[in-house]
Amino acid sequence: MIDSYNLWHGRLGHVSFSYIKKMKDIGLLHNVIIADHDKCEICVESKSNKKSCKSVQRESELLELIHSDLGDLKNNLTRVGKRLYITFIDDSSRYTVVYLLRYKDETFEMFQKYKSEVENQLNKKIMRLRSDSVGEYERKQFNEFCEQYGIIHETTPPYSPESNSVVERKNRILKNIMNVMLISSSALLNLWGRLYSLLVIFKIEYLIRKPA
């Protein structure tokens, strides 16, 4: 049972076969039998993706480009009343920060918090911010803030989330992991916020990044 592929597939948030094979090859998992594995019904139920755009060249400097997106999990509230999450990803390092929000109006406040934290730690300035065009940053106060600090705000074309593929892909994968773990454990949906934060804190993104 300890060597079961299905056991480790569930423990690791229902990651794909290729990542479990990679972990075995580099010595993180031992004696896992991966020759035979069945299609996971939970993965089929919870994962449905739209093909993303082709990737472009990654920026070489930290904070040169920040990807951001706002989302929710089926409009379910967390135990502390949060209904939304906002993700910030540095294009160069792919370092990810997630904040939970009660209301969409808190987006600007969270960006100010993120800017203060990363610029203080790295002694660098954010150059560009890329988000979709659904309106979470479309406020006069935010535009004035960007002008004051020389930040270029880039927006993607309407109805094309794949154009902001870096953060859309990260959110999609983390959301898929949340869905399968909630479904497989029969946990309450209001635990999604806690789970989402833990996935980022414990660097689960290492398992879901494409192999070099």
Are the C-beta atoms of residues 163 and 157 closer than 8 Å to each other? Answer: yes
> pLDDT (tens digit, 9 = 90+) per residue, 99-114?
888 888 888 999 999 9
Mean predicted confidence (pLDDT) in 61-75: 84
Give 6-45 pLDDT, tens digit per residue. Answer: 777 777 777 777 877 888 788 877 777 766 666 777 776 6
Map residue 147 onto helix, strand or coil: helix
Cβ neighbours of 120 (radius 10 Å): 9
pTM score, two decimals? 0.65
Neighbours of 205 (CB within 10 A): 17
Domains of the chain: 57-212 (3.30.420.10)
pLDDT at 66: 93
Q: Among candidates 34, 170, 149, 147, which has minimal Cα distance to 93?
A: 170
At residue 206, the pLDDT reads 42
The CA–CA distances, whole Å, from 130 to 17, 64, 137, 172, 180 equal 32, 11, 10, 17, 29
* Overall average pLDDT of the 142-156 stretch: 90
Which is higher by pLDDT, 110 or 211? 110
Instruction: From 19, 68, 69, select the one nearest 177 (Cα to Cα).
Output: 19
